[in-house]
Amino acid sequence: MSSTEVAQVAHAELTALRHAFELARRGPAGGPNPRVGAVLRSPSGDVIGEGWHRGAGTAHAEVAALVDASARGTDTVGATAVVTLEPCNHTGRTGPCSEALIAAGVGRVVVSVVDPNPVAAGGAQRLREAGVDVTTGVLADEGRAVLGAWLASVERGRPFVTLKLATSLDGRIAAADGSSRWITSEVSRHHAHDLRAEVGAIVVGTGTALADDPSLTARNAAGELHGDQPLRVVVGHRDIPAGARLRGPGGELLTVRTHDPAEVLAELTAREVRHVLVEGGPTVAAAFVRAGLVDEVHAYVAPVLLGAGPPALADLGITSIGAAVRLTTRSVLPLGPDVLIVATPEREEH
């Protein structure tokens, strides 16, 4: 945040914005809409309302905060709205938040992240035209972190893609006889289910679907299905058997009859999927890497040596070390005996 922004934003407003970030995180992570939080402050500085977006079709955070203020019997005229994302300026499943704030008599709006979505953007300008004092770009890095994959998806015009790998220390995903349960620990598997719960879709190839008969569900530590399940996507031309676990309880099953990752993402973009988890196998994983369509890698690595068996990635067509796909490590997290390495392709740095 610049010195000019610091001068324009009171300490109490920064505190309110950080609380709004906490509210935003209560919203669903894997849906088509962003996680947004809002806090309303009276002219005297009291918090008079707060809210967050609970998912597609529900009130946006600003409107939820206005409803909360009304329920408390407080007057919003002259109030300050502190929001994590620029109020929308369009009518979709709900009306424009900019108009709701204007109608409520809000006098000032503090915004963390300007909305990059051309369909919804323009709220700050509309508010200014109505005489509302608006400050944008406040704690923007923190705001972008809360928006996560949604923001990257909107900026790229396609779903954000996380490639998940679960391997032995020597990069194998199964033993020579094909057995793979379990290379990684129970701690890693629980963590991977939490990751599944945050995405809109899980992608595997028909080879994995037929060989492993996965369910591709997101479950909690007790083995129960999470309330919101990701779309289950199988890429390839072979059919999924009628009795496959993919046809059991869980998210909708979608078969995309192609081997082109760009076509897969186009189909998922049309379905408003913002975050895709590619779980394999090696052929599909390599196809996404070759296409330059992997934005982040989550590599669960177990201290196990196999010496033989299928690798995590099929041939990438790389013949020299200079052509290697290099990544920047973002974090390393111990998970029981394993470690999770989160890394991003170096092209993201450019």
List, by residue number, the catalytic residues. 62
Find the helix packing angle between 11-24 and 140-156, rounded to 10°: 40
Strand locations in the chain, DSSP E? 37-41, 47-52, 80-85, 108-113, 133-135, 160-168, 201-205, 231-235, 253-256, 275-280, 296-302, 327-335, 338-345
User: Which tokens is 291 given?
Assistant: 């296409």
Cβ neighbors of 242 (< 8 A, separation 6 or more) are none
DSSP structural state of residue 176: T
Residue 85 burial (C-beta neighbours within 10 Å; 0-12, 13-18, 19+): buried
Phi, psi of 238, rounded to the nearest 5 degrees: -85, 150
What sign does the CA torsion over 42, 132, 152, 3 have?
A: negative
